[in-house]
Amino acid sequence: MMKRESGIVRLDEIGQIWFRRSRRAKHLSIHVRSSHRVWAVIPYGMGMRQAEKMILTKRTWIEKQRERWRCRENRTRPDVMKMPKNPQNMIRHELKIFEERNGFSVSQVSVRRQKTRWGSCSWKNDISLNINIMRLPPALREYVILHELVHTRIKNHGQSFWEMLEEICPEAKKRRSLLGEFGWLLSDHD
């Protein structure tokens, strides 16, 4: 097979696989992005034939993931809020309110469209939030913001993290599970 940096290969047993090579990847990784989209990240030292063989060994797992996506895609999507004007400013404003109310300290805030995360907090306490949190119900948006604010103090998801989050965000774990119903918003670009 040709040496390509990225593209699509078709495996009879699985179908189309989108792939890309990565200098940072140490191992082959497979990501199922929807019922019809499978990605493989291939390290530079691995040949395409070897990658194809490894992907084929994971076909049962891939099919289970596709089935999970089919169930999600066939479900009625919950209602979402309409994207307001100036969503970045609104998100920053809400974060500032929660930061001051709860005594947190944030270094920098960025708001952008992300495909896989609602938010993140760096070790320097820089918080990044997904612009699509503005389309979530207010209680879930609050959960995402408070989750990242707690990470300014606790950098893991251990028991103390959840205890602190529950103190300032009642029913945090319940809100977290409800957030899963809105996962499709992560890849929605409207």
For the whole model, what pTM was predicted? Answer: 0.64
Domain coordinates in residue numbering, the chain? 6-74, 87-187
Q: Which of 21, 27, 26 is nearest to 7 (CA)?
A: 21
C-alpha–C-alpha distance, residues 172 and 165, integer Å: 7
Per-residue pLDDT at 135? 92
All residues at 6 or more sequence positions from 85 whose CB lies less than 8 Å from its CB, including other chains: none
Q: Which of 155, 94, 146 is nearest to 123 (CA)?
A: 155
Task: Give 131: exposed, middle or buried? Use CB within 10 Å, 0-12, 13-18, 19+.
Answer: middle
C-alpha distance across the termini of the chain, in Å: 38
- CA distances 135 to 15, 160, 190, Å, are 34, 29, 11
Q: For 27-68, write each residue's pLDDT tens digit.
A: 999 988 777 788 899 998 898 889 889 999 998 998 888 887
Mean pLDDT across the chain: 88
Q: For 156-184, write each residue's pLDDT tens digit.
A: 999 999 999 999 999 999 999 888 888 87
Q: For 122-143, write each residue's pLDDT tens digit.
A: 999 999 999 999 999 999 999 9
Q: Does 4 have pLDDT greater than 60?
A: no
87-187 homologous superfamily = Metalloproteases ("zincins"), catalytic domain (3.30.2010.10)
Per-residue pLDDT at 5? 64
